């Protein structure tokens, strides 16, 4: 690799560290001519094939840029978008292929975007799933409603299974009742003493 300072064609690696959760290696290099140091980033590349046939390297920033448009006006942060882009990249790399259609990348975004925000999901899906009319939107909304109903039913079942109060023994109940009666008796005696005339209490 050429030195970015003097353009010398030779350099040596003085340090290497993994970054980006092991997806890349950052190398610290030193020029053999001027002695100055610089960093390089080594990573595997995935080529994205666009509709025109042109290929370009896969970049998370383009995922974030595309999804950000669908999330306009929605409660989605930049951290949420960064996590989504990372999840999409991991899904694409897990396929073990060197080239992927741009349309397939768009489809890989749908599942994590659905979990993030359903409105943004519908906006994005209308483009990448080629919605033609209102029926396509209604079908997608019906699927989302069914999923929400299933999730709500599962949560309700968990509450019903674990929400019963523990039963107390008869002895504990009797002790509680006796303590309540004792406190009640003392309270009545105190109230009776307070209602007596002051002259009687002095006798």
Bridge-based pairing state of the strands 47-49 and 55-57: antiparallel
Give residues with Cβ within 8 angstroms of 80, minimum separation 6: 116
Q: Say yes or no: 109 and 124 in one domain.
A: yes
CA distances from 189 to 100, 182, 183, 201 (A): 86, 11, 10, 13
CA gap 81, 67 in Å, rounded: 7
CA distances from 176 to 173, 185, 189 (A): 5, 14, 20
The predicted structure's pLDDT at residue 129? 77
Does the pLDDT at position 62 exceed 50? yes
pTM over 0.85: no
The predicted structure's pLDDT at residue 19? 78
Question: Which of 37, 41, 45 lies closest to 16 in space, CA to CA?
Answer: 41
Give a yes or no: residue 147 inside a domain.
no
Contact 114, 121 (CB under 8 A): yes
Residue that the structure tokens 């005339």 belong to = 197
**Residue 86 lies in domain:** 47-133
Q: Say yes or no: 35 and 106 in one domain.
A: no
Q: How confident is the model at residue 172 (pLDDT cuts 50, 70, 90)?
A: low
Does the pLDDT at position 140 exceed 80? yes
Q: How confident is the model at residue 76 (pLDDT cuts 50, 70, 90)?
A: very high
Question: Which of 51, 43, 42, 58 lies closest to 99 in space, CA to CA?
Answer: 58
Q: Say yes or no: 123 and 55 in one domain.
A: yes
Bridge-based pairing state of the strands 47-49 and 99-101: parallel
Does the pLDDT at position 43 exceed 90? no
Q: Say yes or no: 23 and 73 in one domain.
A: no
Q: Say yes or no: 38 and 68 in one domain.
A: no
The number of distinct structural domains making up the chain is 2
Does the pLDDT at position 116 exceed 80? yes
Q: Say yes or no: 68 and 100 in one domain.
A: yes
- Among 99, 114, 133, identify where a domain stops: 133
The predicted structure's pLDDT at residue 193? 45
Give a yes or no: residue 159 inside a domain.
no
- Among 85, 109, 133, identify where a domain stops: 133
Give a yes or no: residue 102 inside a domain.
yes
Q: Find the helix or strand (DSSP H, E) in which 190 lies.
A: helix 170-195
Give a yes or no: residue 153 inside a domain.
no
Give a yes or no: residue 173 inside a domain.
no
Q: Say yes or no: 38 and 82 in one domain.
A: no
Does residue 147 or residue 176 have the better pLDDT?
147
Computed over every residue of the chain, the mean pLDDT equals 79
Contact 44, 38 (CB under 8 A): no
Q: Say yes or no: 17 and 88 in one domain.
A: no
Indicate the length of the chain as a whole number. Answer: 203
Q: How confident is the model at residue 199 (pLDDT cuts 50, 70, 90)?
A: very low
Give a yes or no: residue 97 inside a domain.
yes
CA distances from 200 to 78, 188, 192 (A): 78, 18, 12
Give a yes or no: residue 63 inside a domain.
yes
Q: How confident is the model at residue 78 (pLDDT cuts 50, 70, 90)?
A: very high
Least confident of 59-63, 106-110, 138-142: 138-142
The predicted structure's pLDDT at residue 171? 53
Question: Which of 64, 100, 63 lies closest to 79 in space, CA to CA?
Answer: 64
Q: How confident is the model at residue 143 (pLDDT cuts 50, 70, 90)?
A: confident
Give a yes or no: residue 150 inside a domain.
no
């Amino acid at each position: 690799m050429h030195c970015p300072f003097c353009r010398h064609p030779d350099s040596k690696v003085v340090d290497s560290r993994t970054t980006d959760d092991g997806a890349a290696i950052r190398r610290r290099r030193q020029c053999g001519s001027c002695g100055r140091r610089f960093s390089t980033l080594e990573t595997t590349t995935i080529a994205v094939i666009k509709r025109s046939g042109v290929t370009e390297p896969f970049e998370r920033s383009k995922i974030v840029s595309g999804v950000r448009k669908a999330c306009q006006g929605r409660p989605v942060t930049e951290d949420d978008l960064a996590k989504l882009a990372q999840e999409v990249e991991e899904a694409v790399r897990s396929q073990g292929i060197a080239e992927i259609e741009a349309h397939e990348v768009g489809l890989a975004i749908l599942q994590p975007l659905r979990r993030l925000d359903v409105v943004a999901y519908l906006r994005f899906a209308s483009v990448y799933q080629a919605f033609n009319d209102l029926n396509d939107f209604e079908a997608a909304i019906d699927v989302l409603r069914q999923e929400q109903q299933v999730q709500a039913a599962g949560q309700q079942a968990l509450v019903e299974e674990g929400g019963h109060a523990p039963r107390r023994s008869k002895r504990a109940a009797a002790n509680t009742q006796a303590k309540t009666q004792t406190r009640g008796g003392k309270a009545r005696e105190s109230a009776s003493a307070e209602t007596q005339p002051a002259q009687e209490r002095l006798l």
